[in-house]
Amino acid sequence: MLGIDWGKSKIGLAIADSHNNMATPYGVVKNIKEVLAVIKQEDISILVVGKPVHMSGTSYKLTAGFGEFIAQLAKETKLEINLFDERLSSKGAQKLFGDKKNKAKEDALAAMLILQNWIDKKFNYA
């Protein structure tokens, strides 16, 4: 499974396998081409992409870039794509990381939180 925290300039990634269902930060890439390379390299079968949601629970108006990213993922991979509420994932990553100096690692931690929350909900761990 691959967790994705999409951003216009960088994309945080996290990975988990079906044996332990524990998400770990994977890294940060710059574009969809690099995401597709990770999907192939790691033999990913499920994608979990953070979906922007207001604190009230209503969806943000999705940017064209996000929509294009999802459409290209679907076209290029034919994999199951799960959009999952990413509320507070960046704030949670900041708290886990402890400082704002290394923003790239924060994006991978945000992806980890998105993926782990999806796993917990999917498998009723939470």
The answer to whether 2 and 13 are in contact (CB under 8 A) is: yes
Give every residue of the chain whose pLDDT is below 50, as ranges.
Answer: 54, 56, 93
In 3D space, the residue among 59, 55, 109, 105 whose CA is nearest the CA of residue 84 turns out to be 59
Q: What integer pLDDT is reported at residue 51 of this predicted model? A: 86
Q: What is the DSSP letter of 102?
A: -
> What are the extents of the domains in the chain?
2-122
For 87, the 3-state DSSP assignment is: coil
Express each pLDDT in 28-42 by its tens digit.
Answer: 999 999 999 999 999
Q: CATH homologous superfamily of domain 2-122?
A: YqgF/RNase H-like domain (3.30.420.140)
Beta strand pairing status for 46-51 and 24-29?
A: unpaired
Share of the chain above pLDDT 90, in %: 59
Q: What is the largest CA-CA distance in the chain?
A: 38
